[in-house]
């Protein structure tokens, strides 16, 4: 008598667990996608720009190729361009970061 009862409870528990698993999977698939963008550099600027700081500003690795550097520079400049309401200071730092990453660094540092 207890064996059929235990088997029935095991089947019911398995069915409930399977139902919960299917619902959890569907909720996981239906969630809105998170953007895969990284956050921009939030720190203050150093007196003399380093390659590491330039890479953080542009959001690329220190050993990035020229194409990636130019693409990242373009994306960051679109959001921070002075003609679109951005800061002249930030635009100069972004340009300085691009020049640093491409190996065309200025001797004097920032214009500001």
pLDDT tens digits, residue range 63-97?
A: 889 999 999 999 999 988 888 888 898 899 999 99
Instruction: Show the CA angle centred on residue 74, arms to residues 68 and 80, nearest 5°.
Output: 135
Instruction: Show the CA angle centred on residue 67, arms to residues 66 and 73, nearest 5°.
Output: 90
Tokens 């528990």 correspond to what residue?
13
Complete DSSP assignment for 41-82 = P-SPPPSS--HHHHHHHHTS-TT--HHHHHHHHHHHHHHH-G
pLDDT tens digits, residue range 4-43?
A: 889 999 999 999 999 999 999 999 989 887 766 666 656 6
Q: Answer with the residue of higher pLDDT: 106 or 31.
A: 31
Question: Quick one: pLDDT at residue 75?
Answer: 92
pTM of the complete model beyond 0.75 = no
* Separation of CA 69 from chain center: 16
Question: Quick one: pLDDT at residue 10?
Answer: 93
């Amino acid at each position: 008598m207890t064996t059929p009862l235990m088997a029935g409870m095991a089947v019911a528990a398995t069915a409930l667990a399977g139902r919960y698993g299917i619902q959890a999977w569907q909720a996981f698939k239906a969630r809105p996608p998170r953007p895969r963008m990284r956050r921009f550099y939030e720190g203050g600027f150093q007196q003399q720009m380093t390659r590491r700081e330039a890479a953080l500003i542009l959001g690329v690795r220190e050993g990035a190729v020229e194409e990636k550097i130019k693409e990242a520079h373009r994306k960051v400049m679109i959001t921070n361009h002075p003609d679109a309401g951005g800061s002249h200071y930030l635009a100069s730092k972004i340009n300085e970061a691009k020049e640093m990453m491409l190996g065309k660094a200025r001797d004097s540092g920032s214009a500001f």
